Amino acid sequence: MSGELIRIFDTTLRDGEQSPGCSMNLNEKLSLARQLERLGVDVIEAGFPIASDGDFDSVQAIAKTLDDVIVCGLARTAKLDIDRAGQAVESGKKPRIHTFIATSDIHLEHKLRMSREQVLEEVDRAVRQAKSYVDDVEFSAEDATRSDRDYLVEVFSTAVAAGASTLNVPDTVGYTTPREYGALIEYLREHVEGARDASGIIFSVHCHNDLGLAVANSLAAIRAGARQIECTVNGIGERAGNTSLEEIVMALKTRSDEFNGLETGINTVEIYPSSRLLSSVTGVQVQPNKAIVGDNAFAHEAGIHQDGVLKAAITYEIMTPESIGRASNELVLGKHSGRHAFRDRLLELGFEVEGDNFERAFRRFKSLADAKKVIYNEDLEAIVSDSLQTLDDRYGFESLVLQCGSDIPPSARVRLQLDEKVVEREASGVGPVDAIFRAISDLTETSSELIQYQVHAVTAGLDAQGEVSVTIEEEGRRVIGNGVHEDVMVASAKAYVHALNKLEWHKQRRHVDAPRGI
Amino acid sequence: MSGELIRIFDTTLRDGEQSPGCSMNLNEKLSLARQLERLGVDVIEAGFPIASDGDFDSVQAIAKTLDDVIVCGLARTAKLDIDRAGQAVESGKKPRIHTFIATSDIHLEHKLRMSREQVLEEVDRAVRQAKSYVDDVEFSAEDATRSDRDYLVEVFSTAVAAGASTLNVPDTVGYTTPREYGALIEYLREHVEGARDASGIIFSVHCHNDLGLAVANSLAAIRAGARQIECTVNGIGERAGNTSLEEIVMALKTRSDEFNGLETGINTVEIYPSSRLLSSVTGVQVQPNKAIVGDNAFAHEAGIHQDGVLKAAITYEIMTPESIGRASNELVLGKHSGRHAFRDRLLELGFEVEGDNFERAFRRFKSLADAKKVIYNEDLEAIVSDSLQTLDDRYGFESLVLQCGSDIPPSARVRLQLDEKVVEREASGVGPVDAIFRAISDLTETSSELIQYQVHAVTAGLDAQGEVSVTIEEEGRRVIGNGVHEDVMVASAKAYVHALNKLEWHKQRRHVDAPRGI
């Protein structure tokens, strides 16, 4: 191994973004990428350029924007995949191409329909092609943990000979255990040709959490000599998600005695802001008992007035909320704050908002400050993620009047902007949300299916803003729209309109059966 | 070790119930206890009898009700604690007392202010006292993972000599790692006097998830010879929660090759119904990427139309949704279904509802069946958990009329039943929820603080019911109230009224600084 730093490879924008409802637009991805740079990750996997033009544009924009972090594009071994990935990252300061192919017999037989020999040839050709674009090439053996060990050795040896410098060992289906995975990494380190200590070759791990073991598997791999961890903020990702960045980083920090003092380059006080930013951009919240970033993760914030905790925090706390940047409920701005203070605060929260977006966000802030006594960080996040949405939108929310109750039929009158015209419709329904959504789908002549509807108050207090997230599906495409307002019914209308706009955008962007990666 | 069965000790009703907002009343606890018995757990820790009369009553009622499962009450080593625990469980068929005391120097110094010798005396006395009530005594060394190893050996040896047959090794603060924890269990098995193989002594593990390692730590302990796992449904519990029952069980089942074929007695098809029952009773949902029970945990349910998945489930699925009882969106009942079919279906979902509760639930079902095309299991869960609430309530929701929108001030007229009288009030607010809650707090003359407000649609579809959960706090007491209705504003009013009723009930039940356990 080439050093005692553990590299953090963040795939929130690629594997994370592939999870249902977590898709993000270019602006949202850029905001997150900048926050990940502040967080101090070593590598950002920014997308899968062949998957769609939107993915390509995001990877390219992130590669051009960031200076201090490696920006990586994912590619299958196909020639066209690697060309697109190369074109997307080559203008960046620190470009990487990450290419992968499955190596388990299950995948070879059922998915690839290729022989082991054919796969070896693909690996050699693909890595060499990637090297023609960039120096820094990572190779992944998809479903490595269900692959034949000695065949894996051949595959990785081929990748090293062709010029790959990072070898990733994905537990694609979340099947392995710490003991087994550690042993696999050790075996590979011993047997892969050209990858012995001091060769500069880095072994990398990429775990999924289907059995709740992603963090432990990654830690076992580190003990066995792996030096890069692929992970996501809040552990989002396919199915049960990926290794959670905040858990692996805080486990290494809190128990450095167990891991030979190995360190990451993560600036841990940016962990909580990163988690919040992702939640507010996607509308997907973490559960209250989520480790590190959940509402209840720290005893003294959870309304527990326990004798032991009061007597000495050390009796129950192995890390402090401050160490991950949780200074909750901090009053940040008042109604007299100006543009300058507002912009500074947004920057601290990870948002660089300019032009029309900034003006819209500032107006929303001022009107909120009139309605609400105290403006918290969470309010600002909600306002800004609401303002980031409105690029190139086909539909715009104008106004709502609603009547409902226990003994009267709900009725909603909604006014929208639709392709530059203002249109209005009244509708009834089973409940008020039904009435609002019917009015909107009548006006927009859309027929998506409602999959999930959720609301949470952005902060505590009766005057809190409501943040609504609406999941809808049309022809196999699933999107989440968000809306925020002090009136949850208005927020519901905005969220539905946002979801319909996203659906329009995704229709142009990504095919339903676009490739999905390791 | 005395066998090759891994005992599942469920502490959802004790450690789980202590997490913020997860408190349950007697009816709710009984429903869950019956479901846990169907699930096939070996031990149910039903509560902490000394903590409050409500806890005592719940433990006693559960011990009397269940036949096939060990019912356990928690107690510190204090004489009064053990008396209460003994009285609570002694009428059960399989009673256990679980007594604990901290053994780490940190806790001895900052919390207990006792010497090591004093603690040893307490252990001896407490276990003997517990044995005077029941044969089956479990002893826990709180904060074992930060305790001196050789002192731990002394403590456990003392417990064995006094008659304890289960020795629990809690990682109270969620600090340990799989390697370290496995080594600790091995050391204890070797050194604790009277606890060698074939002695009948069972080593037990109790892990917290602060670093995301609870499941992996428990599995490492099993490899080292532990034979009881303490865990909770959905992994609820203090801070980041406990070992998640569904994850540990499915890891053992899916990877039995890694664990010498060790088995649990769990009927895995009851896992998903148990998870849903807990969520609907507490109003605390799991995140979409929660392993095993999250909405996205299984690829083919998550709207992913991936080539590989379609070609062969085996390429991405290491377990099936059916194996944990997930047969989602199943149509169960229509508007013509009668009482008998309704009752049968509720029993299958884990609800035994009788008398007034049943009649109320049946009426709600009939009226919902008029409004909503399709009635899913989730609808029935929501209706029933709504009906379980209304015992001994001081406040009752009667009706609501609401007006709101983007350009008009929201106004709400609420009618409540209050100590047998019907009262009515109109109020305005920042948003409609604010207006409704203000009307209710005016009517009830209460002044709790709103901590969190959340809504989710119970099922997909525009005509779905909305389930609202409201977290409020008063003088350090925090409760969650739930309400369900096809009109989310009506559901909001019901949820707030429910929360206020719960607060009333908890004022009588549990002191804010009641003891909290390992």
Strands B95-102 and B70-76, how do they pair? parallel
Cβ atoms of B31 and B357 within 8 Å: the answer is no
Buried b (16+ CB within 10 A) or exposed e, B476-500: ebbbbbbbbbbbbbbbbbbbbbbbb
Query: Burial level of B444, CB count in 10 A (0-12/13-18/19+)?
Result: buried
Higher per-residue pLDDT: A392 or B238: B238
Top mean pLDDT of A69-78, A269-278, A358-367, A386-395 is at A69-78
Which residues fall within 8 angstroms of residue A102, CB to CB, at 6 or more apart? Answer: A108, A111, A112, A119, A141, A142, A143, A172
Chain A closest-CA separation from residue B48 CA (Å):
15
pLDDT at B366: 83
Chain A to chain B Cβ contacts (< 8 Å): 388
Taking each helix axis from N to C end, the angle separating B271-282 and B26-39, rounded to the nearest 10 degrees, works out to: 170
Q: Which of A20, A284, A371 sits opposite B303 (nearest CB)?
A: A20
Residue A353 in this model has a pLDDT that exceeds 60: yes
Q: Which amino acid is at A29?
A: K
Neighbours of B85 (CB within 10 A): 31
* B167, β-bridge pairs: B139, B203
A residues 281-340 closer than 8 Å to B (CB): 284-292, 294-299, 302-308, 311-312, 314-319
Contacts B288 to A, Cβ<8 Å: 19-21, 284
- ∠ CA B348-B351-B354, nearest 5°, is 120
User: Could you give the 3-state DSSP secondary structure of residue A45?
Assistant: strand
pLDDT at A370: 78
pLDDT at A389: 60
A residues 92-151 closer than 8 Å to B (CB): 106-107, 110-111, 143
Chain A closest-CA separation from residue B126 CA (Å):
21
Contacts B379 to A, Cβ<8 Å: none
- ∠ CA A501-A504-A505, nearest 5°, is 90
User: Could you give the 3-state DSSP secondary structure of residue A474?
Assistant: strand
B residues 193-232 closer than 8 Å to A (CB): 209-213, 215-217, 219-220, 223
Chain A closest-CA separation from residue B188 CA (Å):
20
* B395, β-bridge pairs: B418
Chain-centre distance for alpha carbon B432: 32
Contacts A314 to B, Cβ<8 Å: 106, 110
Neighbours of A97 (CB within 10 A): 30
Could B289 and A489 be called an inter-chain contact, meaning their C-beta atoms sit closer than 8 Å? no
Residue A330 in this model has a pLDDT that exceeds 60: no
Residue A363 in this model has a pLDDT that exceeds 80: yes
Chain A closest-CA separation from residue B187 CA (Å):
18
pLDDT at B306: 44
* A167, β-bridge pairs: A139, A203
Which residues fall within 8 angstroms of residue B376, CB to CB, at 6 or more apart? Answer: B329, B330, B331, B332, B458, B459
**Mean pLDDT, rounded, for A431-456:** 91
pTM, 2 dp: 0.85
- Kindly report, residue by residue over A107-121, the tens digit of the pLDDT: 999 889 999 999 999
Question: Residue A310 corresponds to which tokens in the numbers above?
Answer: 């009061």
3-state helix, strand, coil in chain A (%, to 5): 45, 20, 35
Contacts B440 to A, Cβ<8 Å: none
Can you tell me the distance from the alpha carbon of A73 to that of A16, in angstroms, rounded to the nearest whole number? 14
- Kindly report, residue by residue over B311-333, the tens digit of the pLDDT: 556 677 789 888 998 865 455 67
Tokens 């709400």 belong to: B412
- Kindly report, residue by residue over A394-439, the tens digit of the pLDDT: 899 999 999 999 888 899 999 999 988 999 999 999 899 999 999 9
Tokens 């959490």 belong to: A209
Cα separation values, B273 from A487, B298, B323, B324, Å: 35, 16, 12, 8
Per DSSP, the residues of B67-95 read SSSEEEEEEESSHHHHHHHHHHHTTSSSE
Can you tell me the distance from the alpha carbon of B375 to that of B332, in angstroms, rounded to the nearest whole number? 6
Cβ atoms of B88 and B50 within 8 Å: the answer is no
Strands A5-10 and A43-47, how do they pair? parallel
A503, A513, A502, A459: which is closest to A484 by C-alpha?
A459
Question: Residue B20 corresponds to which tokens in the numbers above?
Answer: 């913020």
Chain A closest-CA separation from residue B164 CA (Å):
26
Lateral strand order in the sheet of B395-405: A421-428, A411-418, A395-405, B395-405, B411-418, B421-428
Could B285 and A284 be called an inter-chain contact, meaning their C-beta atoms sit closer than 8 Å? no
- Kindly report, residue by residue over B14-59, the tens digit of the pLDDT: 999 988 778 888 888 998 999 999 999 999 999 999 988 889 999 9
DSSP A257: G
B residues 415-474 closer than 8 Å to A (CB): 429-434, 437-438, 449-457, 460-464, 466, 473
Can you tell me the distance from the alpha carbon of A142 to that of A230, in angstroms, rounded to the nearest whole number? 14
Query: Burial level of A260, CB count in 10 A (0-12/13-18/19+)?
Result: exposed
Q: Which candidate in B287, B310, B319 is best for mutational testing of the A interface (most A CBs within 10 A)? A: B287
Higher per-residue pLDDT: A440 or B481: A440
Q: Which of B240, B254, B460 sits opposite A452 (nearest CB)?
A: B460
Can you tell me the distance from the alpha carbon of A284 to that of A12, in angstroms, rounded to the nearest whole number? 13
B253, B245, B302, B306: which is closest to B272 by C-alpha?
B245
State chain B's maximal CA–CA distance in angstroms. Answer: 76
Neighbours of B148 (CB within 10 A): 13
Mean pLDDT (chain A) is: 88
Residue A248 in this model has a pLDDT that exceeds 90: yes
**Mean pLDDT, rounded, for A494-508:** 85
Cβ atoms of A396 and A424 within 8 Å: the answer is no
Per DSSP, the residues of B331-363 read EEE-TT--HHHHHHHHHHTT----HHHHHHHHH
Contacts A499 to B, Cβ<8 Å: none
- Kindly report, residue by residue over A203-239, the tens digit of the pLDDT: 999 999 999 999 999 999 999 999 999 999 999 998 9
Cβ atoms of A8 and A43 within 8 Å: the answer is yes
Name the strand (E) or helix (H) holding B479. Answer: strand B477-485
The per-residue pLDDT string of chain B (518 residues; one tens digit each, 9 = 90 and over) reads 334 899 999 999 999 998 877 888 888 899 899 999 999 999 999 999 998 888 999 999 999 999 999 999 999 999 999 999 999 999 999 999 999 999 999 999 988 999 999 999 999 999 999 999 999 999 999 999 999 999 999 999 999 999 999 999 999 999 999 999 999 999 999 999 998 766 799 999 999 999 999 999 999 999 999 999 999 999 999 899 999 999 999 999 999 999 989 999 999 999 998 998 898 888 788 998 999 999 888 865 443 334 444 455 667 778 988 899 886 545 567 777 888 888 888 887 777 788 888 888 888 888 888 777 677 777 887 787 777 655 568 899 999 999 999 888 899 999 999 988 999 999 999 899 999 999 999 999 998 889 888 888 877 787 888 889 888 888 877 778 888 888 999 999 999 998 898 888 777 666 556 677 88
Cβ atoms of B470 and B459 within 8 Å: the answer is no
Name the pLDDT band for A283 (thresholds 50, 70, 90).
Answer: confident
- ∠ CA B152-B156-B161, nearest 5°, is 150
pLDDT at B124: 98
Could B111 and A452 be called an inter-chain contact, meaning their C-beta atoms sit closer than 8 Å? no
Residue A308 in this model has a pLDDT that exceeds 50: no
pLDDT at A209: 97
Contacts B106 to A, Cβ<8 Å: 312, 314-315
Question: Residue B137 corresponds to which tokens in the numbers above?
Answer: 């005594």
Q: What is the interface pTM, i.e. ipTM, of the complex?
A: 0.83
**Mean pLDDT, rounded, for A252-269:** 94
pLDDT at B295: 85
Chain-centre distance for alpha carbon B14: 7
pLDDT at B3: 46
Cβ atoms of B464 and B476 within 8 Å: the answer is no
